[in-house]
Structure 1
Amino acid sequence: MALQPSLSPFVIGPYAAPHTLEFFYDIVCPFSKKSYANIRTVLEPQFINEKYRDKLKIIIRLQPQPWHVASHFCHEAVLAVARVAPDQLLNYLDVLYPVNETFYDIPASTLTPVQIREKLADIAEPVIGSERVAAVKELLKHKSTPNGGVAVTEELKYSIKVSRQNSIHTSPTVLWDGLIQEQVSSSWGEKEWTDFFNAKVSA
């Protein structure tokens, strides 16, 4: 498991836990949405916080899919919230995923990049407050150089490079201790995860 320090808010559970479960997600992917909901309702309360409290951590990895027109804007916003309000990152994802269809290809096709970024920041306001939303919007503004991206572009590049070097193609993709687990489904519930951990957790 490797993670640059600025992305530490994407870790759920103790950073030093011996086992790592990684989820590569696209914000506008319906299967990522379903899988993320399972993290919050099944994995986090029952396994991360209870049964395997000191043995297991989750890393959420960002994997924008380029065929979705608004995908990288969504991930920029998530990274901006992670920088400005790291303590509220998961709460932002909790409110962003339920409305992710707003940023599907057809709904987003009539919006400019500036409008998309504005909408994404506004979704965060009930979670992080108006002052920190203003800081998020500043991070999502273009740099002065014509092709330099925004303030969180380097974190986005890092996330994409991690996906590429691990040959991650679909979202969600799940890794256990660095190895892809093809059998894991976004529909898994308590029973499937219990069976998985019973077979995998050894320390």
Structure 2
Amino acid sequence: MSLPRSLSFLRQGTGGQILDIYLDPLCPYSAKITRSLTTNVLPLIKKGGKYEGKLSVVARLYPQPFHYYGPFHIEALIVFGRLYPDLFWDYLTAIFETQTEYFNQPSTTITPSEARDKLTHLATDLLEKKHKVEGPKSKSFGEIRDKLENKGSPNGGTEATDDIKYLVKVGRQNGVHVTPTALLDGLKDDSVSSSWGKEEWEKWISEKVGA
């Protein structure tokens, strides 16, 4: 399934066949499958990989309403991905590594503003690690954080709100209820599991995509 230009960074690889993975930033199983994709799938579809130019992976960010801080994470991912598309997957991975801080019980004392501050600090730490900070680190912080402010009408949103609406609408249209959910070329594939390792992924790709 195609992506709007504003979300093109969600796609990894250049292949014509598309593996969509619906991910909730606060879902432990979404974290598990993302780690497996990072280790076992992305090296196969990126430059020099066996399936380069054949398969792409799209991270379909999909907040579950019972994970209260999920939308804040997706806002941050969208804003960061627009600014630094080449580092989107690194930031997604970093968010999954810190997700337990935002589970429902631990996050009861965190305000939305504090959550956005923390997510922005996580982003700038990543930029610093990747040597992408130009000038003072506070400048990069301010650039990202400003885009996460609610602006406009009293019930308005951030610069990521319209893209969140798109992502949610697509998930509803496709009848996605749980995360992770996998679609290959637009059709659900319930055989895909978050518990898969190298062997399972290579077998699945060879059968679905071919040599």
TM bucket (normalised to shorter chain) is over 0.9
Report the aligned-residue RMSD: 1.4
What residue in structure 2 maps to residue 192 of structure 1? 200
Contiguous gaps of at least 5 residues in structure 2: 128-132
Cα deviation for residue 198 of structure 1 reads 2.1
Q: Provide, for residues 36-75 of structure 1, a one-character-per-residue CA deviation record: whole Å limited to 9, x for no partner.
A: 0111111011344411111111100000001111111111
The residue type paired with residue 26 of structure 2 is: V
What residue in structure 1 maps to residue 5 of structure 2? 5
Larger helix percent: 1
CA contact 1:84–1:135 (8 Å) conserved in 2: no
What residue in structure 2 maps to residue 53 of structure 1? 52
Contiguous gaps of at least 5 residues in structure 1: none
Q: 1:133-172, aligned counterparts within 5 Å?
A: 133-172=141-180
Question: TM-score, normalising length from structure 1?
Answer: 0.94
Question: TM-score, normalising length from structure 2?
Answer: 0.91
Q: 1:1-203, aligned counterparts within 5 Å?
A: 1-14=1-14, 17-49=15-47, 50-128=49-127, 129=133, 130=137, 131-202=139-210
CA contact 1:139–1:150 (8 Å) conserved in 2: yes
Distance across 2 between alignment mates of 1:190 and 1:166? 28
Q: Provide, for residues 54-98 of structure 1, a one-character-per-residue CA deviation record: whole Å limited to 9, x for no partner.
A: 111110000000111111111111111012222221111122111
CA contact 1:92–1:124 (8 Å) conserved in 2: yes
Identity of aligned residues (%): 36
CA contact 1:13–1:53 (8 Å) conserved in 2: yes
Cα deviation for residue 20 of structure 1 reads 0.7
